[in-house]
């Protein structure tokens, strides 16, 4: 019962963090805004990145998605500096090439569609999405032992896509494109090979609140000399090995120094102190396990140095870090680790974040935590130039 309550609490907090940037903001009504609803059908295939999947897959991956889009045009909003990206909330559904084993998946996520090209009624954009996924047929001993991709119902969802839209009418737009979608639970439960689908999609959107593009003026993001420290603490739980059902606590304490290039982009370097729960088991094969061998919490400690980048989207930031270990109590499976996540302002200098910590391309745990931004210098900016569309 406590486990169920823990999952509900975690999901509720995570969804609140993910949805917060897309809730109506104070003063947002003063901006010119385009609102739209979009429906898409997608058809593709599951990428068999493990040998066992090659022999089990017998069908295509099919499904659809519903999206609520928002595009703001105000002269003082951050979207203006990034050539009017579309932000929104999406609901995604897909089969996974073998319904009796892998079942189906759902995902709820915020996304952003960045501008690539616009000429007349034709637009080309690329999408980044990060949210919460659900798999209806995870691995279960004695019932679904062939499913080595999902160890739990709850998963993280990451989506990337390339999308072309064509305006048919003031309210209607036709869209087509391709996407790469990934679902896994970040090793919170084993097995956790995760699943990847590649799909072509086609859809139709309806503008609830159209906007006259001729009224919009584009501005470049102001240059910035701002610097700051970001101190963060994160926690998560993971299952270190499939043969051991115990879930261990993991986490990190990180200090990062950021240099802002513009008001929407920053680069940084930092130091990490990490705890990877059950680390000796994660790096050990079952046949090498010594039942009499004991491990302590000191065997789970790592220290690393990282480089990173943040894209600042109003009160939200998307971050990616790449690091290498300086200290390893237990040898890591790879010398390089990575993070991908989203950080949201909660109150003044306090921010909440959600991300995935991975050892190279293998997820180790999903982390959820708090960060504090400590400015080091005043924000000196030069005004951006405005161009009429």
| Domain chopping of the chain, boundaries | 2-22+30-216, 223-381
The whole-number pLDDT of residue 296 equals 82
Give the pLDDT mean for 134-138.
95
Residues 306, 188: Cα–Cα separation, whole Å = 24
Same fold for the domain at 2-22+30-216 and the one at 223-381? Answer: yes
Query: What is the predicted pLDDT for the residue at 209?
Result: 78
Once rounded to an integer, what is the mean pLDDT over residues 265-291?
Answer: 81
Burial 299-335 (b: 16+ CB within 10 A, else e): ebbbebebebebbbbeebbbbebebebeebbbebeee
| C-alpha atoms less than 13 angstroms from C-alpha of 371 in its C-beta half-sphere | 28
* The two three-digit tokens of residue 310, written as one number: 């943040």
Nearest partner of 242 among 139, 380, 115, judged by Cα: 139
For residues 124-136, give the mean pLDDT: 94
123 or 29: which leads in pLDDT: 123
pLDDT given at position 19: 54
Q: Which class in CATH covers the domain with range 223-381?
A: mainly beta
Hey, CA dihedral for 206, 211, 214, 220, is it positive or negative?
negative
Average pLDDT, the chain: 85
Average pLDDT of 60-75?
90
pLDDT, tens digit, 9 for 90 and up, residues 29-47: 445 788 999 999 999 999 9
pTM of the model: 0.81
What pLDDT score does 291 carry?
A: 54
Phi-psi region of 186 (alpha: psi -120 to 50; beta: other; left: phi over 0): left
Q: What is the CATH number of domain 2-22+30-216?
A: 2.40.160.20
pLDDT of residue 278: 86
* Local confidence band at 385 (pLDDT 50, 70, 90 cut-offs): low
């Amino acid at each position: 019962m406590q486990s169920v309550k823990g999952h509900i609490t975690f999901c509720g907090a995570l969804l609140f963090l993910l949805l917060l940037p897309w809730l109506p903001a104070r003063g947002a009504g003063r901006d010119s805004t385009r609102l739209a609803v979009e429906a898409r059908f997608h058809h593709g295939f599951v990428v068999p990145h493990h040998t066992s999947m090659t022999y089990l897959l017998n069908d295509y991956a099919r499904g659809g998605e519903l999206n609520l889009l928002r595009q703001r045009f105000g002269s003082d909003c951050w979207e203006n500096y990034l050539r009017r990206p579309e932000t929104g909330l999406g609901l995604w559904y897909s089969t996974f090439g073998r319904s009796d084993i892998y079942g189906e998946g759902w995902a709820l996520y915020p996304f952003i569609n960045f501008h690539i090209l616009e000429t007349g009624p034709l637009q080309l954009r690329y999408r980044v999405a990060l949210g919460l996924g659900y798999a209806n047929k995870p691995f279960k001993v004695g019932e679904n032992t062939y499913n080595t991709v999902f160890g739990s119902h709850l998963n993280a969802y990451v989506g990337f896509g390339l999308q072309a839209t064509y305006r048919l009418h003031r309210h209607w737009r036709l869209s087509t494109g391709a996407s790469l979608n990934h679902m896994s639970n970040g090793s919170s439960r084993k097995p956790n090979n995760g699943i990847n689908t590649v799909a072509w999609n086609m859809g139709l959107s309806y503008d609830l609140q159209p906007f006259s593009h001729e009224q919009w003026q584009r501005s470049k993001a102001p240059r910035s000399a701002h610097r700051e420290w970001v101190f963060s603490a994160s926690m998560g739980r993971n299952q270190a090995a499939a043969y051991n059902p115990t879930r261990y606590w993991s986490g990190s304490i990180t200090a990062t120094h950021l240099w802002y290039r513009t008001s929407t982009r920053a680069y940084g370097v930092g130091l990490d102190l990490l705890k990877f729960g059950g680390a000796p088991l994660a790096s050990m094969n079952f046949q090498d396990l010594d039942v009499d061998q004991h491990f302590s919490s000191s065997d789970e400690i790592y220290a690393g140095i990282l480089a990173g980048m943040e894209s600042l989207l109003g009160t939200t930031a998307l971050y990616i870090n790449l690091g290498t270990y300086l200290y390893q109590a237990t040898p890591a499976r790879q010398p390089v680790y990575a993070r991908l996540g989203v950080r949201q302002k909660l109150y003044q200098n306090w921010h909440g974040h959600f991300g995935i910590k991975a050892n190279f391309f293998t997820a180790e745990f999903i982390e959820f935590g708090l960060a504090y931004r400590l400015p080091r210098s005043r924000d000196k900016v030069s005004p951006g130039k405005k161009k009429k569309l």
